[in-house]
Amino acid sequence: MEGNSESAVLTDQNQEKVKQVIGEVHKVIIGQEEMITRLLIGLFTNGHILLEGVPGLAKTLTISTLSRVLDLDFQRLQFTPDLLPSDLIGTMIYNQKKSEFEVKKGPIFANMVLADEINRSPAKVQSALLESMQEKQVTIGEHTFKLDRPFFVLATQNPVEQEGTYPLPEAQVDRFMMKVFVDYPTKAEEQEIMSRMANLSFEGDVKTVLKKDDIFSIREEVNRIKLAESLEKYIIDLVFATRNPEEHGLEDIAQYINFGASPRASINLHLASRGNAYLEGREFVIPEDIKAIALDVLNHRILLNYEAEADGVTTQMLIERILEKVQIK
């Protein structure tokens, strides 16, 4: 790779900065490589990420640490049942001195927004956030405001405690590029976490590595990464296999699927595979890039029926079966 060549897709400078970002995050976070790479793929491809995992797996800490490594405005919102849309996007307030209403902007006006436990707030709050994600703008009263670029939404939810929660509707979950399941650390990782966090003098200082211009520059490089037509057709085959399993020799899983993945799945598989290739330092996508991110892109876009639940069949099992069966032509 010739980093100094004007025609090069990737530049050594940006590649080095990405490595530095990961290194800085690991000053605080032990393990969780997959979560960190997925967050960076979302940032570099203009996608939003939903993280799901039990409490204590460093989801919020990873995001807040990443925000300190990036020179971006960051807002963390704890979603609660009494949260209102105006608490998120802002409202009109009356200025007595001027005898007129004026706009008070909410915390959505940031570059990175963390919606912590997004399923704790009712649908009207979720809709306000997800509309902002889709439209990249907010309307307050009669005024419409464009959101700052980059605009990156990260949401977390706890899959265990479902009492008093408001599950995201399928159409809204679909707006997240990826839904990443965060798993427990290994024994060695947890021992290191325990030792580090038991040190009362540990502060987890990190330095800023990327500026806004760097992020836009990296996005341009990701946009130039090549994806062969055969791999584009492979992506389409994977998505269509979730909709019409029988046509792809997957009669054994057809009985479990109510609805297959939407066209957003194809778009985000394309984008995320290029993002994965970028993090691997390649100027082109290979099949392994698509397979690496297929679960995270597809798992929240396939709706299973009651028969799947009764038989203990999960979306992960179906996606693994699809990846096993569908071949590149």
Q: Is the pTM of this model over 0.75?
A: yes
- Whether 30 is in a domain gets the answer yes
Q: For position 4, what pLDDT does the model report?
A: 41
The reported pLDDT for the residue numbered 161 is 67
In this prediction, residue 180 has a pLDDT band, given cuts at 50, 70 and 90, of very high
Distances (CA, A) of 9 to 3, 6, 120, 232, 281: 8, 8, 43, 19, 10
- At 313 the three-state DSSP class reads coil
Q: Does residue 86 lie in a domain region?
A: yes
Please check whether residues 149 and 267 belong to one and the same domain. Answer: no
Q: What is the mean predicted confidence (pLDDT) over 147-161?
A: 85
At residue 140, the pLDDT reads: 81
- pLDDT average, residue stretch 135-158: 86
| Same domain, residue pair 114 and 177 | yes
The more confidently predicted of residues 248 and 234 is 234
In a domain, 6, yes or no: no
Do 249 and 141 fall into the same domain? no
The CATH number linked to 234 is: 1.10.8.80
Handedness of CA 43, 120, 298, 187 (dihedral sign): positive
Q: Is the pLDDT of residue 8 over 70?
A: no
In this structure, are 114 and 255 located in the same domain?
Answer: no
Cis peptide bond prior to 159, omega within 30° of 0: no
Cβ(296)–Cβ(178) below 8 Å: yes
Which pLDDT score is estimated for 6? 42
Please count the residues of the chain: 329
Q: What integer pLDDT is reported at residue 224 of this predicted model? A: 93
C-alpha–C-alpha distance, residues 10 and 13, integer Å: 9
Please check the confidence at residue 5 and state whether its pLDDT lies above 70. no
- How many whole angstroms separate alpha carbon 316 and alpha carbon 299? 6
Which of these three, 188, 216, 244, is where a domain ends?
A: 216
Look at 63-72, 100-109, 204-213 and tell me which has the smallest mean pLDDT.
100-109
Residue 305 forms part of a structural domain: yes
Query: How much is the pLDDT for 3?
Result: 41
Burial class (CB in 10 A: 0-12, 13-18, 19+), 163: exposed
CATH number at residue 63: 3.40.50.300
| The 3-state secondary structure of 231-278, one letter per residue | HHHHHHHHHHHHHCHHHHCCHHHHCCEEECCCHHHHHHHHHHHHHHHH
Q: How many domains does the chain have?
A: 2
Residue 294: inside a domain: yes
User: Domain of 112?
Assistant: 12-216
Pairing of strands 143-146, 74-78: unpaired
pLDDT digits (tens, 9 = 90+) for 82-98: 888 888 888 878 777 77
Task: Tell me which of 222 and 172 has the higher pLDDT.
Answer: 222
On whether residue 5 sits in a domain, the answer given is: no
Q: Which tokens hold the place of 89?
A: 């996007």
Q: What is the pLDDT of the chain when averaged over all its residues?
A: 87
Shared domain check, 178 and 248:
no
pLDDT-wise least confident of 111-115, 125-129, 212-216, 295-299 = 125-129
- In this prediction, residues 128-152 reach a mean pLDDT of 84
pLDDT of residue 162: 64
More confident residue, 273 or 198: 273
Give the pair of three-digit tokens for residue 2: 């010739």
Domain contains 164: yes
